[in-house]
Amino acid sequence: MAHLEKYLNQSPESKRSKAVIAYLAALDHIKEQNPIVVEKILQELRDQRSHLKLIASENYSSRSVQLAMGNLLTDKYAEGFPGRRFYAGCENVDAIEDLAVQELKKLFGCDHAYVQPHSGADANLVAYWTIIIQRVQAKEVALLQKKTVDELKAIVAKNMAKDINYYHTNASFGVKGIGYKTEVVGGGEPKAPKGKWKSSGYGDLK
């Protein structure tokens, strides 16, 4: 007997749930294609009702959420943010994500909210970056007598500008500036005006 048929036979009309009817109808349809998948879905339901999950990245979703996941929206590829997707045709997804953002902002009383899926791999990577920044990067930046990486970025940009300027003003010497490095091209050394020329990055040219 089908799951929906069994439910309708056992439940008085006044106590029937539209959500349960929709859910069981979906299971019956899936069972026609692959009974094993339905078996595992029902086993997961039993497991969740008999075991306490203490995994931070898992959840207990409502029937409405489960039903909302099983429709045409699953066909979409919506990379990016509402109104700023990488591909066209995401207007309907944008509207739903905007709605979720507004609901979350209202719930937590915040100005901004991010509702897209967040995997454990991403979370672990963010934690790893935080440790690297605090335990490694911060110390190295301090050794350079700077407080933040942004201060180093300004120095890098300035040095790159010097290299580019040197390339343009010394093209006849056969010197090509590449980022921090400066290499000799065309065979032979540059004939700088006086003494030893020092690049704005690392390494010297004589």
Per-residue pLDDT band at 163 (split at 50, 70, 90): low
Both tokens assigned to 161: 């500008």
The last residue of a domain, from among 70, 99, 121? 70
CA distance 35 to 76: 26
Three state DSSP letters for 67-131: HHHCCHHHHCCCCEECCEECCCCCHHHHHHHHHHHHHHHHHHCCCCCCCCCCCHHHHHHHHHHHH
Residue 137: inside a domain: no
Residue 143: inside a domain: no
The continuous run of DSSP H or E covering 177 comes out as: strand 175-178
CB distance 167 to 158 below 8 Å? no
CA distance 177 to 161: 10
For 90-142, the pLDDT digits (tens) are 999 999 999 999 999 999 999 999 898 777 787 788 888 888 887 777 777 78
Residue 20: inside a domain: yes
Which pTM value belongs to this model?
0.55
Per residue in 33-45, is it b (16+ CB within 10 Å) or e — as a string? eeeeebeeeeeee
Tally of structural domains, the chain: 2
The last residue of a domain, from among 15, 35, 70? 70
Average confidence score pLDDT of the chain: 78
Residue 123: inside a domain: no
Percent above pLDDT 70 for the chain: 74
Residue 4 pLDDT: 94
